[in-house]
Amino acid sequence: MDRYRYFIFNQRSIVVLGILQIACAGLCVVCGFMDAIFRKDTTLSNTRVPLWAGVIMGMPGVLALFSSQKKNPLLVNIMIAASLFSCFTTVIIMVYSSLTLSYGEEDDELFHPSHIQTTHAKFILTRLVQGANLTMLIACTFGILLALFIAFTGCRSVPYCACYDSVTGLVRILLL
């Protein structure tokens, strides 16, 4: 009966969650590029945390799309592990964004265009970088929630889950 268990895997919800997770990761990578372009090389910005962690943040979404098409138990277990690891890397992005959110226009040494002497241009660049960091914080918040929902949906489809009835092969209804 266990081999029929993966036909109960909720394809529609995992596809939607996977696409949203990839969108949040893409938004994080784009904002990371904006942060890298307009900020001078400092110790914190040399790590390029939003770029590599954003790619890792998108892995559960890609695995969710693959596991919705191929109902393989190994793929579902890898998707669960990638979702939990994605939560860890997303917290790293949130810490980075929180630390760099406080950079203001009075910090002249932090931005690349040192030839720009007008305060208006520096103000715009400051707001652009702060907006990118705020967008990363919002995307990471949704990314953590989506990764946890992907892991929860994957856990419910594993035969060793407590909500799985091995006699009938059906999922018991969970009241949350």
pLDDT digits (tens, 9 = 90+) for 78-97: 999 999 999 999 998 888 88
DSSP one-letter code for 102: T
* Cβ atoms of residues 136 and 50 within 8 Å: yes
Q: In which residue are the tokens 């040399």 written?
A: 46
107-150, pLDDT tens digit by residue?
Answer: 555 555 555 566 666 677 777 778 888 898 999 999 999 999 99
Q: What is the pLDDT of residue 165?
A: 54
156 SS3 class: helix
pLDDT in tens, 20-43: 999 999 999 998 888 777 776 666
- Amino acid 87: pLDDT: 92
d(C-alpha 122, C-alpha 111), whole Å: 8
Residue 10, pLDDT > 80, answer no
pTM: 0.77
User: Interhelix angle for 49-69 vs 11-38, to 10°?
Assistant: 160
- For residue 115, give every residue at least 6 positions away whose Cβ sits within 8 Å of its Cβ, in sequence order, or none: none
- 105: pLDDT strictly greater than 50: no
CA distance linking residue 17 with residue 92, whole number of Å: 21
Q: What is the pLDDT of residues 148-163, one digit of tens each?
A: 999 888 887 776 655 5
pLDDT of residue 176: 44
Model confidence pLDDT, tens digit, residues 48-66: 888 888 889 999 999 988 8
Q: What is the pLDDT of residue 27?
A: 92
Contact 79, 150 (CB under 8 A): yes
Output the pLDDT for position 175: 43
Show the tokens assigned to 109: 């040494």
Q: How far apart are CA 13 and CA 26, in angstroms?
A: 20
Tokens of 96: 């980075």
